[in-house]
Amino acid sequence: MLSRHAHRHAHQVLRSIPGLRVTSTYRTPAHNARVGGVPASLHTRRRAVDLAGTFSQQHAAVLLARRLGAVEAINEGDHAHLAW
């Protein structure tokens, strides 16, 4: 579950770009370590979401997230990592 703030923005991205799907939100520190996440990952603070889709959908998500004030918005190739 995301923080209310991050959830609101992630929901706006998902509504604006059809076809994206959520692949990761909150992670416990142990789960984050198992999947290779960085120790200070915003996933562990309920502030980050990963969205999968086509490369162009992910690119659009990154651009929109930046306009929405994201502190992290990265197209990782197989997903977009967004955090507020």
pLDDT at position 12: 98
Asked whether 41 and 72 are in contact (CB, 8 A), the reply is no
Local confidence pLDDT in tens for the 84 residues of the chain: 999 999 999 999 999 999 999 999 999 999 999 999 999 999 999 999 999 999 999 999 999 999 999 999 999 999 999 999
Report the alpha-carbon distance of residue 57 to residue 63 in Å, rounded.
10
pLDDT at position 71: 98
Give the predicted TM-score (pTM) of the model: 0.95
pLDDT at position 42: 98
Select the CATH number that applies to the domain covering 4-83 from these four: 2.60.40.2130, 3.40.640.10, 3.40.50.300, 3.30.1380.10.
3.30.1380.10
pLDDT at position 26: 98
Q: Is 36 helix (H, G, I), strand (E, B) or coil?
A: coil
Report the alpha-carbon distance of residue 80 to residue 84 in Å, rounded.
13
| H or E, element range at 22 | strand 21-24
pLDDT at position 66: 98
